[in-house]
A = this chain, B = another copy of it.
Amino acid sequence: MTFTTQLARATRLHNSLLCVGLDPEPSKFPGAWAGDADRIYDFCAAIVDATKDLVCAFKPQIAYFAAHRAEDQLEQLMAHIKAVAPDVPVILDAKRGDIGSTAEQYAREAFVRYRADAVTLSPFMGRDTVEPFLAYADKGVILLCRTSNPGGNDWQMQRLADVPGQPRLFEHLAHLAHSQWNTTGQLGLVVGATFPAEIARVREIAPTLPLLIPGVGAQGGDAEATVKAGLTAAGTIVVNSSRAVLYASRGEDFADAARRVALDTRDQLNAARN
């Protein structure tokens, strides 16, 4: 089953546009687990168990594992998600981007080693750095397009002098991704929730590409504006929340608290689409 199909199926099955981001920070772990990097798997698995019927995807962010020498715990977590939530696709948030031969290694890391269903990539080095990932026909490949951090303006908002109509870089990227690079139907785009007008613009340019939208919750994006800007009959969205769910409580009730926040967020997103 392709990532796109898997995503559509999980979205329908769980009536959810919510993706829970797994960004484990041991310093924020509850109770006796606080500061213990050996509990990364236990913490993330508890979050997965508590929210798996409420989400359309999970998104582990690989830096949080790599910083703690916890690749083995990430492997274990990926296997756990496949076991307890086989219907939920997993997006490995890695933002890799490198030339062909190196990109092949990164694709192997994401899709063979970690068995991710999709991966995030940086498009800075251009189209040929994306292609080795497309060789895995069932997998999704989600390109950074318009990011929600302040520095997102530095390049993504630049207007391109030599492209007809002088679009902004993120607009031209959305255009290329939709009309030229997406020959295999595997591409999606990352667009930050803090810029609803730009979500709408990307949706207009790329009507059918799935949009991964981080920044709802701790980063301050508005759930209703996000859904209205990005979701259409032809184009789905995956709205990510990480910290607001993971660290809803620092006590023993952290998993229950995470479930409550995930449920609230899912319901807010659903309210906005009706």
Q: B-contacting residues of A (Cβ < 8 Å)?
A: 23, 61, 63-64, 66-67, 69, 71, 95-103, 105-106, 108-109, 112-113, 122-130, 144, 147-156, 158-163, 166, 169, 173, 176
Contacts and interface: CB of A to CB of B under 8 A. Distances in A.
Given A23-B102, A105-B63, A151 B126 contact: yes
Contacts of A63: 96, 98, 102-103, 105-106, 109
**5 closest Cβ contacts across the A-B interface?**
A126-B151, A126-B154, A63-B105, A67-B105, A161-B161
A27 to B, nearest CB: 11
A215 to B, nearest CB: 9
A128 B149 CA distance: 8
A214 to B, nearest CB: 9
28 contacts: A61-B102, A61-B105, A63-B96, A63-B103, A63-B109, A67-B105, A67-B108, A67-B109, A67-B113, A69-B71, A69-B113, A95-B97, A95-B122, A97-B97, A99-B149, A123-B124, A123-B154, A124-B124, A124-B155, A124-B156, A126-B155, A127-B151, A128-B149, A128-B151, A158-B158, A158-B160, A159-B162, A160-B160
Contacts of A103: 63
Given A122-B97, A126-B153, A128-B149, A106 B67 contact: yes
Contact of A105 (B64, B112, B127): B64
A106 B66 contact: yes
Given A123-B155, A166-B161, A66 B109 contact: yes
